[in-house]
Amino acid sequence: MNFIEINPGNWFYNLSVIGFLKALSHEKSKEKQEVKITDDGRVLIDRSIFDESQSHPGVPEALVRYVNYLSEGESLEDWFKKGKQDKRKKYESLYNQMGEFGYRLAMAFNKLFRSRTPYQNMVQEGENLEFVQFVKSLKQISEKDDGERCGICGKKWFVQTNISQDLKDRLFRFASVHSSELGPSIGEFPNSFWNMSTSFFVCPFCVYLIIHSHLAWIELNEPRGKKSIFINAPSFKVMWYLNKYARTIYGREKIKEVRQLLGISLVELALRFNIQLGKWTMMNIEAVVKSGNGISFFSLPYNTIELLLDRNIASSLYEIGSTNVLNWVLDGEFDRIMREGEITFRENLEKSDSKMLSYSQKLFHLYTLIMERTKGGILV
Ligand SMILES: [Zn+2]
């Protein structure tokens, strides 16, 4: 099997996969496509992504791209100057093996594994090369019937690797090094996939995916502190696009309300893709929200999602472009759309304000579309 096939799972796994895809897709147009997201929502990863890179022998291609992603726009000279340590000397062995790229790798690893980083102490300074070897070994990963089941993906992935027992203990036992938010409070985690135990096995493949998980959060800067969201769904295709849209919409319009952000992302999805989602998929689209209080979940009612994903309704909402109107749809207060249309129409009839009259027509049209959809017995 040349491809490693992955299916959507729990939200933390999905978050990690989307982060991984984000880092990989960063460098555009390699001749071959190593990763495919299928229409039915799976991801196929070509094992060759773990082959040694042509530009940096000894380092797997996937890691080269991740290092490039993490160190993009950074100057090595500036990095050397920062801090008291002589980094040239400190990372000499990496330099001897990989040339300049070795320093970039150290820089990238410092952003992942050192103090106050997302995976603090997962890999220690002296273990950088060992970790590179570990990533390279992922090409040979296979499922082993009598292996231990992974608490993240539920599979029994196994790979032969020569890393030290110390490093193995840190990589393959779930703890705070994998996720500073979830690790320490794992016993309290309500979802059954966490096994309700303080520690569980994390398979080699998930280890590599997890170190990308922080990339998938969309950070919303709020006056009352930081908040991040991730849109979770039972299809990687749906997740890939919804999160992409949510990120762009937030960047463009600074919409901070999770409900609206999710709503507009669904509208964009309907407009850009003629996508037919099953009921089960729609019912399981949710926003995972990370804030100072921990993790919470937000979802829209199935009926609302169905309306937003209706291409005609989506395009009407998009044309109207009003947050108020979107809110009424999200609240199921459809009559208000009608009323707003009537008021606008009456007020602007005498003035013959054609722009506002056309706006009122758009509202009537949206109302009609929603009624047609709901009276068809779809909404109760
Ligand atoms: Zn796993």
Q: Are residues 103 and 205 in the same domain?
A: yes
Domain end (from 214, 233, 261)? 214
Distance in angstroms between the alpha carbons of the first and the last residue of the chain: 47
Nearest to 322 by CA among 336, 309, 310, 311: 336
Distance (Å) from CA 181 to ligand 1 centroid: 19
Question: In the prediction, which pLDDT does 81 show?
Answer: 93
Backbone angles phi, psi at 220, to 5 degrees: -110, 115
Distance (Å) from CA 172 to ligand 1 centroid: 10
Q: Are residues 99 and 134 in the same domain?
A: yes
Question: In the prediction, which pLDDT does 206 show?
Answer: 96
Q: Are residues 10 and 110 in the same domain?
A: yes
Question: In the prediction, which pLDDT does 192 show?
Answer: 41
Neighbours of ion ligand 1 (CB under 5 A): 150, 152-153, 203, 206
Q: pLDDT of 172-190, one tens digit each?
A: 988 878 887 775 444 444 4
The domain in which residue 300 lies consists of 217-309
Q: Are residues 64 and 182 in the same domain?
A: yes
- The mean pLDDT value for 322-335 works out to 95
Question: In the prediction, which pLDDT does 198 show?
Answer: 60
Q: Are residues 210 and 221 in the same domain?
A: no
Q: Are residues 272 and 362 in the same domain?
A: no
Distance (Å) from CA 150 to ligand 1 centroid: 5
Share of the chain above pLDDT 90, in %: 76
Q: Are residues 85 and 161 in the same domain?
A: yes
Half-sphere exposure of 118 (CA within 13 A, CB side): 17
Distance (Å) from CA 207 to ligand 1 centroid: 7
Question: In the prediction, which pLDDT does 254 show?
Answer: 80
Judge contact between 234 and 8, C-beta under 8 A: yes
| Total domain count, the chain | 3
Distance (Å) from CA 5 to ligand 1 centroid: 12
Q: pLDDT of 189-207, one tens digit each?
A: 444 445 545 678 999 999 9
Distance (Å) from CA 138 to ligand 1 centroid: 12
Distance (Å) from CA 197 to ligand 1 centroid: 16
Alpha-carbon separation of residue 116 from 70, 124, 336 (angstroms): 16, 14, 49
Domain end (from 198, 214, 230)? 214
164 or 256: which carries more pLDDT confidence? Answer: 164
Distance (Å) from CA 277 to ligand 1 centroid: 27
Distance (Å) from CA 235 to ligand 1 centroid: 18
Distance (Å) from CA 13 to ligand 1 centroid: 8
Question: In the prediction, which pLDDT does 371 show?
Answer: 95
Q: Are residues 89 and 158 in the same domain?
A: yes
- The mean pLDDT value for 97-118 works out to 94
Question: In the prediction, which pLDDT does 376 show?
Answer: 60
Mean pLDDT, the chain, as a whole number?
Answer: 90
Distance (Å) from CA 102 to ligand 1 centroid: 28
Q: pLDDT of 276-309, one tens digit each?
A: 889 999 999 999 999 887 889 999 999 999 999 9
Distance (Å) from CA 165 to ligand 1 centroid: 19
Nearest to 19 by CA among 290, 244, 256, 287: 244
Distance (Å) from CA 363 to ligand 1 centroid: 49
Question: In the prediction, which pLDDT does 221 show?
Answer: 84
Distance (Å) from CA 152 to ligand 1 centroid: 5
Question: In the prediction, which pLDDT does 115 show?
Answer: 86
Q: pLDDT of 230-281, one tens digit each?
A: 999 999 999 999 999 999 999 888 888 999 999 999 999 999 987 788 999 9
Can you say whether residue 332 is alpha, beta or left, with left for phi > 0 and alpha for psi between -120 and 50 degrees? Answer: left
Distance (Å) from CA 220 to ligand 1 centroid: 29
Tell me: pLDDT of 29 over 60: no
Tell me: pLDDT of 351 over 60: yes
Distance (Å) from CA 299 to ligand 1 centroid: 26
Long-range contacts of 329-335 (CB under 8 A, 24+ apart): 329/263, 329/304, 329/370, 330/259, 330/260, 330/263, 330/300, 330/304, 332/301, 332/303, 332/304, 334/367, 334/370, 334/371, 334/374
